[in-house]
Amino acid sequence: MHQALIDWATRGVWVLAIVAGGAVAAPIIPPPPSVASSSYLLIDANSQKVLVEENAAKRIPPASLTKIMTAYIVEEEIKNGRLKVDEMAPISVEAWRTGGSKMFIREGTEVAVSDLLKGIIIQSGNDASVAIAEYIAGSEDAFADMMNQQAQALGLTNTRFLNATGLPNENHYSTAEDLARLTIALINDHPEQYKLYSQRSYKFNDIAQPNRNKLLWRDRSVDGVKTGYTAAAGYCLVASAERNGVRLISVVMGTDSDEARMRESQKLLSYGFRNFDTQTLYKAGINLRQQDVYYGDQDKVELGVAEDITVTFPRGYYDDIEVEMTIADYLEAPFSSGQAAGELILTLDGEQLYSAPLVTLAAVEESNFFGRLGDSIYLFYASIFSDEG
């Protein structure tokens, strides 16, 4: 059980340490697996803690993993009311002629946006990707500009798109790190669209095609995301799986076969689920401590965190997490709700897991003249006695 200890660290600051009883044991976990991939990453989707990585910031051709962004843009257009799933998009000669994987749309016809979206996600259709790009932006080049603007908005600093398909271009690149963060944004921002990534097959124009992500058949916890292949990129896969409320995302790039990308992805996911756990330790807006207030119309204010604190840590070491709250010993009104008043720090075996500001959970207005005068006198004498001590 955790015990609360209060220590006067420095004048004007409380340090509240919540530590596990007894000595804190250093976590013992096995090393990450050897992964036959030129670039790879394993990340927890909720805490965004990177668990394993190798060359994750290296710029590489993303192949059809590009279509994660293509589909994200489509869903953004739907979400913002600029596009409807039942709209019919005309199919151009350019879209029909696009090489590589296809959903087999026909030149001169019209196809529903919902069908094109399934063709992009499930069948990895290059023809569907060009068709939707032309319909939304007028041309594939203009759509690529939208993709790059969205990448910038999501903080994908090592990504540049020149097309909607991922067909080879030396100036079209991304990284394992950026692709993982794009996938997290997709799952969080568009959960309804994300359900399509677990669909195992789709039939269009009387042609049924299976989802290329074979992990959907091998591991029931896997529910996405996307495969990719070109000669320059090799065989790539972004995979996502959820077990007991923990979601992990793996990215493997540059493997030498379809079987290899499945095998190496499963290695990473199995390692992560076996050795790590993720929990939300503090909820936003919940009172963690009351603090004295001076010069205000209230004597105390509750402190908490502005956002949920979700932490990933080695499995079995929850009780060894140490919590420290560094707090100013009083606050002076007036102040607004959400004002920083300290810091919450979580550590395990001396390594910082997380830090976040402690904030006021309510606003406090300034008191009247007599209230301020009384507090001023009290603090004056308190400082004298503190100096003498």
Tens of pLDDT, residue by residue over 47-82, are 999 999 999 999 999 999 999 999 999 999 999 999
Do residues 370 and 314 both lie within one domain?
yes
Share above pLDDT 70 across residues of the chain, in percent, rounded to a whole number: 88
> Of the candidates 225, 244, 276, which is a domain's last residue?
276
The single residue listed with the structure tokens 């990215």 is 251
Total count of domains within the chain = 2
> Mean pLDDT across the stretch 248-253?
98
pLDDT in tens, 316-365: 999 999 999 988 777 887 889 999 999 999 999 989 999 999 999 998 87
> Is-contact 292 300, C-beta < 8 A?
yes
pTM above 0.85, yes or no: yes
**Most distant CA pair in the chain, distance:** 90
Is residue 31 assigned to a domain? no
> Is-contact 184 250, C-beta < 8 A?
no
pLDDT-wise least confident of 9-23, 128-142, 189-203, 317-331:
9-23
Please choose, from the candidates 189, 170, 168, the residue with its C-alpha nearest in 3D space to the C-alpha of residue 69: 189
Please give the C-alpha separations between residue 220 and each of 137, 246, 295, 370, in angstroms, as whole numbers: 37, 14, 59, 67
Q: What is the pLDDT of residue 280?
A: 95
How many helices (H) and strands (E) the chain has is answered by: 10, 19
pLDDT in tens, 1-28: 232 222 222 223 444 444 444 455 678 8
Please give the C-alpha separations between residue 262 and each of 5, 78, 115, 213, in angstroms, as whole numbers: 49, 32, 27, 8
Work out the burial of residue 134: count CB atoms within 10 Å of its CB; fewer than 13 is exposed, 13-18 middle, 19 or more buried: buried
* Residues tagged active-site: 64, 67, 124
CATH of the domain at 295: 2.60.410.10
Mean pLDDT computed over every residue of the chain: 89
Domain range holding 371?
2-25+283-388
